Amino acid sequence: MFSTVLVHVIGLIYKIPITALVGEVGRGYFTSAYELYTPIYAISMAGLPIAVSKMVSERIALGKYDEVVALFKTSQKVFFITGVVGTLVLLLFAYPLTKYVIKTPEAFFSVISIAPSIFFCCLISSYRGYYEGLSNMVPTGISQIIETLGKLVFGIFLSSQLIKYSINEFNSTGIVFGVKCNDLNDVYLRVAPFSSAAAIFGVTLGSLIALIYLVIRKRLKGDNLPNSQSSKKYSLTKPLINTAIPIAMSSLVLNITNLIDSLTIQGRLNSAILNNCDIIKNIYPEIAKNNIDDGMIKSFLYGCYGVGLDFRNVIPTVVMTLGVSAIPVLSSNYAKNDTKGINSSIETVLKVGIVISVFFGLILAIFSKEILSILYSGTNSASTVTIAAPIVRMFGLFSIIFSLSAPTTNMLQAIGYSNIPLRSLGIGAIIKIICNFVLVGIPSININGAPIGSILCSIFMLSYNMHYLVKKTGVKVNKKQTIFVPFFISTISASYAYLFFKLQYTVYFKEFYEFLQVSKIQQMTISCLLSIIFSMIIWLLLLFTFDFFSEIKKKYLFIGKKPHKRVENQTLME
């Protein structure tokens, strides 16, 4: 769990300086490329890593070590082929997708830059699935951290160097990439497609370095399996693919839905701008302030929306690990028909999910403008603050909905009803697309309609999943202890953050800050940090008062499956 949280935190940190460097328009190209890349990446390998993990663990349990080795070799061949095909598909269709589908041809360079990472990630997944099947999460965790740090370091370095080179060219000749520029703002807009591509190329380099680590580790340390050499031939390609197909369906639907979601948002946004450009410009004076051409307004606004998406996924990622950790416990209780155990497992996931998502979601909503101001003021993306703050606030307020959708899906999968979340996702996607089409196309709402679609989709999915989870398990949730108490704890704690923040803008605190001679942004940073720390202390005290930590420990939600005795006795959960 620790590595998962760390990876996503680094991922968020990565996007903040990238956005500050490339600006809102460049971030629009960056996000568009990612949206095109993700579904093709998912189609290339969806279900395969989990299938490898499942088949390896089954054969380890039966002592079929020869088949485990054969399975790894088979998976490498399958992943190699899918990686090559996925990369070629993205390279070949990069131009028509960017020019005719999302109508953002400037994103072409970013798509080309990220395409090779599909090949590297496919090969990485053959190793990760194999090690996870051996109950050894260390290689997966370390490779994820290497991959994420790689894209952070290389993405920022390459993008910053390209921008620095462009500024030097402008200062010397007034020309950047063959086009005359009037000022630095023109330089940033001209270089945006290329600086975005340089930033996203960090993803490709990060995945390459992670692959090199896994290859070297496998050769140096092996896997400690007995009798791992065999002359027998095993045909495991068909069983591997057959195992992967049902697992892949949810992932495919989710990623294709996200792509359709992105296309509908950009399509309707483009329509609203073309038909009502003056209205959009009046709503966002930042467009004129930054000399954004009419053709770039869509990318500018979509880039600001991408910043909101960064913050939307942070809290649900942490809560999602609860659902994953609950799977073995819930599966075991369900198989034994242990009603009390089932009830306890489900209640604990919901209780902890609520107490985390409500508190941090409210903190994000309360300080949305301040957090964005601290991160982006004085950068090339200062205009992001005003436009993205309402989007971040909406995502924060409804964080509980986003956060609990995934764990309910995991719990239904744990008891063998994976078709139910697949249905809820499909219907939810239709709701989201309809909302995008209607709301984003209204000029006065424009990009602010996109979060509404996501919220309504997640509300439906959570309601649908919970209905069937209760129906299939017969669980009777104690609403007071599971819902109202954690909601009360988090709401009260977050309200103290707001009150303490306002207190710091009284006369006495202002005089104190003036005495320290701090700037306005420094005062805002100090005030936010002190307010959040103060509220977290209250939150933790209340959690101890209501005995939440012993509750979590007692349910064994964070204890992973013990590794096989012949395999490395290490997991990141220990």
517-571, pLDDT tens digit by residue? Answer: 777 788 888 889 999 999 999 999 998 888 776 655 554 444 334 434 433 333 3
Higher pLDDT, 330 or 285: 285
Q: Are 443 and 298 in contact (CB under 8 A)?
A: no
Q: Are 441 and 268 in contact (CB under 8 A)?
A: yes
Per-residue confidence band for 330, with pLDDT thresholds at 50, 70 and 90: low
* Residue 453 to residue 448: CA distance in whole angstroms: 10
Mean pLDDT within 125-131: 85
With a CB cutoff of 8 Å and minimum separation 6, the contacts of 547 are: none
**Which residues, in sequence order, are bridge partners of residue 180?**
175
For 128, list phi and psi in degrees, rounded to 5. -65, -45
Each residue's pLDDT tens digit, 425-442: 889 989 999 999 999 999
Each residue's pLDDT tens digit, 261-288: 888 898 899 899 988 899 999 999 988 8
Tokens linked to 335 = 């198989």
Per-residue model confidence (pLDDT) at position 560: 39
What rounded mean pLDDT belongs to the chain? 82
Q: Are 568 and 222 in contact (CB under 8 A)?
A: no
Matching residue, tokens 């692959």: 211
Mean pLDDT within 309-331: 70
With a CB cutoff of 8 Å and minimum separation 6, the contacts of 486 are: 351, 352, 354, 355, 358, 548
Check residue 480 and report its DSSP letter: I
Each residue's pLDDT tens digit, 457-487: 999 999 999 999 899 888 888 888 888 999 9
Dihedral sign, Cα of residue 38, residue 141, residue 149, residue 122:
negative
* Residue 276 to residue 499: CA distance in whole angstroms: 41
Q: CB 242: neighbour CB atoms within 10 A?
A: 10
Q: 496 pLDDT exceeds 90?
A: yes
Closest by Cα among 566, 565, 562 to 137: 562
* Residue 380 to residue 284: CA distance in whole angstroms: 17
Q: Are 461 and 405 in contact (CB under 8 A)?
A: yes
Matching residue, tokens 């902890």: 352
Q: Which among 178-187, 401-410, 446-455 has the top mean pLDDT?
A: 446-455
Matching residue, tokens 């320290």: 516
Per-residue model confidence (pLDDT) at position 231: 42
* Residue 30 to residue 21: CA distance in whole angstroms: 12
Q: 176 pLDDT exceeds 70?
A: yes
Q: 19 pLDDT exceeds 70?
A: yes
Each residue's pLDDT tens digit, 398-423: 999 998 888 888 788 767 787 888 88
CA angle 496-372-204, nearest 5°? 125
Q: What is the 3-state secondary structure (H, E, C) of 482-516?
A: HHHHHHHHHHHHHHHHHHHHHHCCCHHHHHHHHHH
3-class secondary structure, 137: coil
Per-residue model confidence (pLDDT) at position 45: 63
Per-residue confidence band for 17, with pLDDT thresholds at 50, 70 and 90: confident
Per-residue model confidence (pLDDT) at position 258: 74
Q: CB 224: neighbour CB atoms within 10 A?
A: 13
Higher pLDDT, 223 or 155: 155
With a CB cutoff of 8 Å and minimum separation 6, the contacts of 510 are: none
Helix, strand, coil tally for the chain in percent (to 5): 85, 0, 15
CA 334 to chain centre: 30
